[in-house]
Amino acid sequence: MVFDWFKRALAQPAPTPEPEPAAAPAPEPVPEPEPESPAESEAAAVPAAPEAVAPVAVPPSAPAPVGPAGQGVDEDALAWARQAYARLKAQQEAASQAAAPAPDPVPTPAPAAEAPPAPEAASEPPPAPETAAPPAASGLSLLEQAAAQRQQRLLEITAPAPAAPPAATATPLAAEADVADPSLGAFDDTFTWSAEVLAAQGRSVEDVSLEEIDWLGRLRRGLEKTRKGFVTQLLENLGDDPLTPAVLDDLESTLLRADVGVKATDQVLEALRRRLNEEVVDPAEGLRFLKEQLRGLLEEPIRAGGTALLAPQRDRLNVWLLVGVNGVGKTTTLGKLANLAVRSGYSCLIAAADTFRAAAVQQVSVWGERSGVAVVANPSANADPAAVVFDAIGAARSKGTELVLVDTAGRLQTKHNLMEELGKVRRTITKLAPEAAVESLLVLDASQGQNGLRQAMAFASAAGLTGVVLTKLDGSARGGVALAVASEAGLPIRFIGAGEGIRDLRPFNSFEFVEALLAS
């Protein structure tokens, strides 16, 4: 099953029910299996076989009191979570049963068949004479040798597509990705909170996926450091009494300590003061109103950009540049984005344009192998980044690739010569592929707080930024910097990273972020 994270919908919503109607067509009445498909979802939710009821009947007794104590989960929300858990449990069991027959036919003579490939490997070394070809061109000038090497690189980039060896390497990579698939855990407070967040967004039980449940749990854990200081002080300030001007003063200091920023803090407090002038606000209503204000701050630059969710456009070349200072995690973020694009059904290519940092190309190559994505690089030291991007766009056009991710060298916002080099890369893309959809994403380390905000302001004016990727939220108590970036820099946050795993980077959702930030 392919889950398109750029659309937040299942690309193939009903792969499991389809085989069942396939067996039903034996009888001629076709309309009968159609009503069975919705009935099956209901049966999987509650009246399924005792196997599905048994795992669900035990946990609700424990989390039932936890839900209302946490965020006031009512009985309807808890019942919704139980149905979602039962459905995911049934899907997981069906998937395990479907995978069971696969291991049964284990051919023992397969190793014998693998023995012949050894001589094939012996037949492969003879291409070593190809390395002898360059010496023949030693009589050429340096410019002619460089042109010959460039042409050879372009041929190597375009040739591997139809070749068989890459397909062999893609198989183990896909197997590793399948092993890393999330599994359904216990019916605990984390699951009920994740289900409640999805239900609050209008999702139905049939649309809930294990990918989303797993990500919401990771996001909640990633914001734990920020939440411990922020929410604890917030709840202490709100207390059980109606909001007063003194409480707002304490709330102001709490927001500033969380690196929410001066402008965002002033906007939130001004809205709360106007609300206090109209009516008496109790703590629960104050918390709900605060969430609305924070979501409004985060969504304002997204609405101004006209794109609610940044996604590669189908049947069109998309070029995304990742920029930022040294050490913020640009290369790691690029590898996670490549994995996200592949798992969402897009064809992807990586351009290793960070040619100055030691072992940067090797690091990008490792990320490409983990995601099964081809990497275009120049092995020579201090190569021209624009030349690498030139080769990558040519390779993407020849293969029909939809997304090209460009890894750029880290640079300080005060180094004008390096910023001009970044502009050269942009001009190369514009000249070579004017029809491409180009995005320039700034990677920010959440732990840098207000310094990251200054970086965003500087890069926005010099690099033509279109969005921000906020990383390392799990290692910082300054997750509120997301609000400062959105309100003061006016940049939409497009992706957030809340962990070190390859799946710990997802498209930004303001509702889920605020709920995870203020989860009690």
Cα–Cα distances in angstroms (integers) from residue 126 to residues 131, 161, 198, in the given order: 10, 22, 58
pLDDT at 9: 54
* pLDDT, tens digit, 9 for 90 and up, residues 437-473: 999 999 988 888 777 777 777 777 667 789 999 998 8
φ/ψ (deg, to 5) at 124: -75, -35
331 annotated as ligand-binding: yes
72 annotated as ligand-binding: no
- Comparing 85 with 30, the larger pLDDT belongs to 85
Among candidate residues 13, 5, 11, the one with its CA nearest the CA of residue 341: 5
What's the whole-model pTM score?
0.72
Joined together, the tokens standing for residue 462 give 């010099």
Residue 129 has pLDDT above 50, yes or no: no
Residue 434 has pLDDT above 60, yes or no: yes
325 annotated as ligand-binding: yes
474 annotated as ligand-binding: yes
pLDDT at 378: 85
274 annotated as ligand-binding: no
Strand, coil or helix: 494: strand
Spatial separation of the C-alpha atoms in residues 439 and 185, rounded to whole Å: 37
Residue 443 per-residue DSSP state: E
Query: Residue 490 in contact with residue 457, Cβ under 8 Å?
Result: no
Computed on alpha carbons and rounded to an integer, the radius of gyration of the chain in Å comes to: 27
**Mean residue pLDDT across the chain:** 75
Query: Which residues are 202's β-sheet partners?
Result: none
Query: Residue 438 in contact with residue 313, Cβ under 8 Å?
Result: no
329 annotated as ligand-binding: yes
Q: Considering the domain delimited by 318-509, tell me its CATH architecture.
A: 3-Layer(aba) Sandwich (3.40)
Per domain, the residue ranges of the chain are 318-509
**Residue 2 pLDDT grade (very low, low, confident, very high; cuts 50, 70, 90):** low
Q: What angle do CA 247, 252, 258 make, to 5 degrees?
A: 125
Joined together, the tokens standing for residue 338 give 């490549």
237 annotated as ligand-binding: no
Spatial separation of the C-alpha atoms in residues 138 and 321, rounded to whole Å: 37
Q: How many CB atoms lie within 10 A of CB 278?
A: 7
411 annotated as ligand-binding: yes
472 annotated as ligand-binding: yes
Residue with tokens 């050429």: 140
Strand, coil or helix: 317: coil
Residue 72 has pLDDT above 60, yes or no: no
DSSP state letters, 144-178? HHHHHHHHHHHHHHHTTTT-SHHHHHHHHHHHHHH
To the nearest 10 degrees (0 to 180), the angle between helices 75-99 and 50-57 is 130
Cα–Cα distances in angstroms (integers) from residue 240 to residues 8, 65, 244, 361, 382, in the given order: 38, 21, 12, 56, 62
7 annotated as ligand-binding: no
Among candidate residues 448, 457, 488, the one with its CA nearest the CA of residue 266: 488
Mean pLDDT check: name the lowest of 283-292, 348-357, 408-417: 408-417
Strand, coil or helix: 358: coil
* pLDDT, tens digit, 9 for 90 and up, residues 201-257: 988 888 888 989 999 999 998 888 888 777 777 777 777 777 788 888 888 888 888
Joined together, the tokens standing for residue 63 give 């989390």
Mean pLDDT check: name the lowest of 32-36, 77-81, 290-294, 386-390: 32-36
Largest interatomic CA distance in the chain:
87
327 annotated as ligand-binding: yes
326 annotated as ligand-binding: yes
pLDDT at 416: 66
Q: What is the mean pLDDT of residues 118-137?
A: 44
* pLDDT, tens digit, 9 for 90 and up, residues 11-59: 444 444 444 444 444 444 434 434 444 334 443 333 333 333 333 333 4
Burial class (CB in 10 A: 0-12, 13-18, 19+), 49: exposed
Query: Residue 352 in contact with residue 388, Cβ under 8 Å?
Result: yes
- Comparing 117 with 157, the larger pLDDT belongs to 157
pLDDT at 347: 93
330 annotated as ligand-binding: yes
* pLDDT, tens digit, 9 for 90 and up, residues 131-187: 444 444 456 666 677 777 777 766 766 654 444 333 333 333 433 443 457 888 888
Residue 375 per-residue DSSP state: E
pLDDT at 198: 92
**Residue 71 pLDDT grade (very low, low, confident, very high; cuts 50, 70, 90):** very low
Joined together, the tokens standing for residue 500 give 């070190």
Sheet strands side by side (includes 348-352): 374-376, 348-352, 403-407, 318-323, 437-445, 467-471, 493-497, 505-507
408 annotated as ligand-binding: yes
190 annotated as ligand-binding: no
Residue with tokens 């997981």: 92
DSSP state letters, 267-306? HHHHHHHHHHHHS---HHHHHHHHHHHHHHHHHHHHHHHT
